[in-house]
Amino acid sequence: MGQQKNPRRVAENEAMAVSRMLRTSPQKLNLVAQMIRNKPVDKALSDLTFSKKRIAQDVKKTLQSAIANAENNHGLDVDELVVVEAWVGKNLVMKRGRPRARGRFGKILKPFSQITIKVRQVEEQA
């Protein structure tokens, strides 16, 4: 009479990692996510290492976490991993403001976002 086992959210040859509360807008984060989609993980890691975007280092940490999940939790071969999906979502928005002229209030929005990276082991074509 124990708890039922939860079904796996990814396929047997896949692994994923999620980073939440990244302090950037989803639009800017999506530019970095587009850089790594459908690339082998070693090429994606090198692209993120030499990217000039500030948020690329946080995306690199998430990709390294997905690679570690694939290797340690699912027993996948790291050399055959490809980034199959990288999607971005909105998180909370901090609302701040500054006083402006004539008693008005200038609204300042500080958005947060999240990224989910899914890697898959694919057999290399000979």
Q: Specify the fold of 14-121.
A: Ribosomal Protein L22; Chain A (3.90.470)
Domain ranges of the chain: 14-121
Q: Token pair for residue 30?
A: 């999506």
Q: What are the tens digits of pLDDT across the range 46-101? A: 999 999 999 999 999 999 999 999 999 989 999 999 999 999 999 999 999 999 99
Cβ neighbors of 104 (< 8 A, separation 6 or more) are none
* CA pair distance 44, 52, nearest whole angstrom: 14
**Helix, strand or coil, per DSSP, at residue 35:** helix
Q: Is the pTM of this model over 0.85?
A: yes
Q: Which residue has the tokens 């290492």?
A: 49
